[in-house]
């Protein structure tokens, strides 16, 4: 992987970046709701963006850094002809609609989205960009994270009710264009660890029964459930102005409103969501996570002291199974213990697992660049070539 040398940012003004149509820059569009600029280098290292070439004779140097723009200069240690990119410019936008406009007007050369609606809009509006697909990790799951320490949400029956109330099949058909699998847990059906569990299929009557068993009723007739004078009111945090997140959050609010729950939507920037998760200062968050099929991944997310346990979830049986797995030597027994953890998680519903999304949709300015793809594989920016300079 190429190296990076961090210098003091220069005073290059935002307006000084040349139009992507005529420059030797690759201009990447990104959303502040989806990505915190502070995390950009981490995402680059994980190959979320196709920055690095397998050729080690390339160095990347950061030359400008702000909360709206980050610029890397590419150093080719062996001379490359002039039609290769010389800089990678990351521009951050406040809304996905703004990013779509930037694509259509060729203000940016490359972007990644999850939204089916965004892909349709770009595809019908410009011939300079064609929508391409990149398959996600099979266990990349979209979920609703509950704060398991919340006064209302700490009850597993309540979390089960919230899951029963969501019509995931409707979302799959109308919002995702069927480009996903329904999830019944953190591990997809393609995995050897997957086991048959309660899928919590859409059943609003069952949801209402569970709530009533816990003494939640609409005693004053205002359409919102209450108990002991407390209204069932929760906030739902999601990524601000990201189309797919907006669509899902709106649908979740509609479904929960129907069973008498007052939902306050709170769109936030990624940087704000990170702080909320760290402090566990939230009710419900629309969230994505990639689970590995290992004890370490389960322990990190579901263990009482797990480093990634954003849920505040604690279950003694899960912790005991984690401990037993560590001392168990037989592989079959280990697998059974992992499945037992998944079964307990299914019962507790510390999160509602919605979908395993299939693909990222990415866009390349093919009017400006050539040699950006080999077969179905996206090549790194340093291999791209400008068409007509």
Q: What CATH number is attached to the domain comprising 123?
A: 3.40.190.10
In a shared domain, residues 117 and 22: yes
Closest CA to 355 of 100, 133, 173: 173
Residue 83's pLDDT is 85
In a shared domain, residues 284 and 378: no
Cβ count within 10 A of residue 243: 24
Residue 54's pLDDT is 65
Tokens of 124: 């019908």
In a shared domain, residues 249 and 293: yes
Rounded Cα gap, residues 314 and 206, in angstroms: 25
Tokens of 180: 């996903």
In a shared domain, residues 168 and 295: yes
pLDDT per residue rounded down to tens, the chain (389 residues): 333 333 333 434 333 444 444 488 999 999 999 999 999 999 999 889 999 776 667 888 999 999 999 999 998 877 666 788 999 999 999 999 999 999 999 999 999 999 988 999 999 999 999 888 889 999 999 999 999 999 999 999 999 999 999 999 999 999 998 999 999 999 998 888 888 888 999 999 999 999 999 999 999 999 999 999 999 999 999 999 999 999 999 999 999 999 999 999 999 999 999 999 999 999 999 999 999 999 999 999 999 999 999 999 999 999 999 999 888 878 888 889 999 999 999 999 999 999 999 999 999 999 999 999 888 888 999 999 998 75
Residue 302: CATH number of its domain? 3.10.105.10
Q: What burial class does residue 28 get, using C-beta atoms within 10 Å of its C-beta: 0-12 exposed, 13-18 middle, 19+ buried?
A: buried
In a shared domain, residues 235 and 284: yes
In a shared domain, residues 348 and 375: no
In a shared domain, residues 176 and 245: yes
In a shared domain, residues 61 and 181: no
Pairing of strands 69-76, 58-65: antiparallel
Rounded Cα gap, residues 123 and 117, in angstroms: 10
Tokens of 335: 């697998």
In a shared domain, residues 47 and 149: no
Tokens of 329: 């030597």
In a shared domain, residues 162 and 269: yes
Rounded Cα gap, residues 263 and 233, in angstroms: 6
Counting the structural domains of the chain, the total is: 2
Residue 20's pLDDT is 45
In a shared domain, residues 119 and 197: no
In a shared domain, residues 169 and 271: yes
| Residue tagged 């359409």 (tokens) | 223
Residue 27's pLDDT is 97
The CA radius of gyration of the chain, in Å to the nearest whole number, is: 23
Domain that holds residue 163: 140-357
Closest CA to 28 of 376, 377, 375, 384: 384
The residues facing 113 across adjacent strands are: 361
Rounded Cα gap, residues 297 and 276, in angstroms: 22
Residue 10's pLDDT is 41
């Amino acid at each position: 992987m190429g190296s990076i040398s961090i210098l003091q940012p220069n005073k290059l003004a935002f307006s000084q970046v040349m139009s992507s149509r005529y420059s030797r820059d690759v201009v990447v569009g990104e959303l502040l709701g989806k990505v915190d600029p502070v995390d950009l280098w981490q995402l680059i290292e994980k190959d979320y963006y196709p920055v690095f070439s397998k050729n080690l004779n390339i160095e990347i140097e950061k030359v400008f850094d702000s909360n709206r723009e980050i610029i890397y200069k590419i150093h080719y240690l062996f001379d490359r002809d002039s039609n290769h990119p010389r800089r990678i410019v990351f521009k951050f936008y406040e809304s996905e609609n703004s990013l779509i406009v930037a694509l259509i007007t060729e203000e940016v050369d490359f972007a990644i989205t999850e939204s089916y609606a965004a892909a349709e809009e770009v595809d019908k509006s410009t011939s300079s960009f064609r929508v391409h697909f990149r398959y996600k990790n099979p266990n990349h799951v979209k979920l609703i994270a509950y704060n398991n320490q919340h006064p209302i949400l700490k009850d597993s029956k309540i979390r089960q009710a919230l899951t029963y109330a969501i019509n995931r099949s409707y979302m799959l058909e109308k919002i995702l264009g069927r480009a996903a699998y329904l999830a019944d847990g953190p591990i997809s059906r393609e995995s050897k660890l997957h086991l048959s569990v309660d899928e919590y299929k859409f059943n609003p009557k069952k949801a209402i029964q569970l709530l009533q068993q816990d003494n939640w009723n609409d005693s004053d007739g205002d359409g919102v459930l209450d108990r002991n004078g407390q209204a069932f009111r929760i906030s739902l945090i999601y990524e601000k102005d990201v189309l797919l997140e907006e669509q899902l959050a709106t649908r979740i609010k509609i479904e929960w409103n129907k069973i008498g729950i007052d939902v306050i939507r709170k769109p936030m920037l990624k940087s704000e969501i990170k702080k909320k998760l760290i402090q566990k200062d939230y009710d419900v968050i629309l969230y994505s996570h990639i689970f590995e099929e290992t004890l370490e991944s389960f322990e990190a997310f579901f263990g009482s002291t797990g480093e990634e346990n954003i849920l505040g979830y604690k279950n003694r049986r899960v912790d005991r199974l984690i401990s037993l797995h560590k001392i168990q030597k037989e592989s079959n027994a280990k697998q059974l213990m992992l499945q037992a953890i998944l079964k307990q998680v299914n019962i507790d519903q510390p999160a509602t697992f919605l979908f395993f999304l299939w693909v990222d949709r990415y866009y390349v300015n093919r009017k400006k660049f050539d040699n950006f793809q080999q077969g179905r594989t996206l090549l790194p920016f340093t291999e791209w070539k400008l068409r007509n300079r």
